[in-house]
Chain A
Amino acid sequence: MTDMPRLDAKNAILGDLDALQRSRRRHFSPALLLACVLVGTLVILGARPDLLDQPAWQLGLQGLLWFLCLLVLPAIGLGLWFPGRGVRLGLVVGGILATVMATTGWPFVDHGAHAEWGGLDECVGMILGSGAVLVSLGFLSGAFVQRKRVTAVYWVAAGLALAALNVVTWVCPVSGLNHVLPSHLGGAIMLLALAVVVGAAARRNAEAD
Chain B
Amino acid sequence: MSTGSGRTRILGLHALMEQYVDGNRRAFETMHTLMEPRLRGFLMNLVRDPAAVDDLLQLTLLKAHLARERFRLQGGDPDGAVQGWYFAIARNVAMDHMRDRHREKKRMPGSAADDGTDPVANLAAREPTVEDGTVETEREQDVVDRVRAAIARLPPGQREVVEMHKLKGMTMAEVADRLSVREGAVRVRAHRAYKALARFLMPAHD
Interface assignment of B28: CB less than 8 Å from any CB of chain A: yes
Interface assignment of B26: CB less than 8 Å from any CB of chain A: yes
Q: Is the CB of B28 within 8 A of A13?
A: yes
Interface assignment of B191: CB less than 8 Å from any CB of chain A: no
Chain A 1-31 interface 0/1 with B at a Cβ cutoff of 8 Å (1 = within): 1100011111011101110110010000000
Q: Quick one: which of A8, A10, A24, A79 contacts B24, CB cutoff 8 A? A: A79
Note all chain A residues with C-beta closer than 8 A to B29.
10, 14
In the complex with contacts A13-B65, A14-B28, A79-B22 CB distance below 8 A: yes
Interface assignment of B202: CB less than 8 Å from any CB of chain A: no
A18–B26 alpha-carbon span in the complex (Å): 11
Interface assignment of B21: CB less than 8 Å from any CB of chain A: yes
Chain B 24-45 interface 0/1 with A at a Cβ cutoff of 8 Å (1 = within): 1111110010000000000000
| Chain A residue total in the interface (Cβ 8 A) | 23
Closest B residue by C-beta to A4:
B55
Note all chain B residues with C-beta closer than 8 A to A20.
23
Q: Is the CB of A16 within 8 A of B58?
A: no
Least CB distance, A63 to chain B, in whole angstroms: 29
Q: Is the CB of B22 within 8 A of A149?
A: yes
Least CB distance, A157 to chain B, in whole angstroms: 17
| Chain B residue total in the interface (Cβ 8 A) | 23
Note all chain B residues with C-beta closer than 8 A to A14.
25, 28-29
Q: Is the CB of B55 within 8 A of A2?
A: yes
Interface assignment of B123: CB less than 8 Å from any CB of chain A: no
Q: Is the CB of A18 within 8 A of B25?
A: yes
Interface assignment of A48: CB less than 8 Å from any CB of chain B: no
Least CB distance, B94 to chain A, in whole angstroms: 13
Note all chain A residues with C-beta closer than 8 A to B111.
none
Q: Is the CB of B27 within 8 A of A10?
A: no
In the complex with contacts A1-B52, A2-B55, A82-B22 CB distance below 8 A: yes
Q: Is the CB of B21 within 8 A of A148?
A: yes
In the complex with contacts A79-B24, A82-B19, A2-B58 CB distance below 8 A: no
Least CB distance, A209 to chain B, in whole angstroms: 13
Closest B residue by C-beta to A12:
B62
Q: Is the CB of B61 within 8 A of A13?
A: yes
Q: Quick one: which of B21, B24, B26, B58 contacts A9, CB cutoff 8 A? A: B58
Q: Quick one: which of B19, B23, B51, B65 contacts A24, CB cutoff 8 A? A: B23
Interface assignment of B142: CB less than 8 Å from any CB of chain A: no
Q: Is the CB of B23 within 8 A of A9?
A: no
Interface assignment of B174: CB less than 8 Å from any CB of chain A: no
Closest B residue by C-beta to A148:
B21
Q: Is the CB of B62 within 8 A of A148?
A: no
* 8 Å CB interface, B55-95 against A: 55, 57-59, 61-62, 65, 69
A146–B19 alpha-carbon span in the complex (Å): 12
Closest A residue by C-beta to B62:
A9
Least CB distance, B204 to chain A, in whole angstroms: 39
Least CB distance, B46 to chain A, in whole angstroms: 15
* Listed A/B pairs (30) with beta-carbon separation below 8 Å: A1-B51, A1-B52, A2-B51, A2-B55, A6-B58, A7-B58, A7-B62, A9-B59, A9-B62, A9-B65, A10-B29, A10-B61, A12-B62, A13-B61, A13-B62, A13-B65, A14-B25, A18-B25, A21-B25, A24-B23, A79-B24, A82-B19, A82-B26, A146-B22, A148-B18, A148-B22, A148-B69, A149-B18, A149-B22, A152-B22
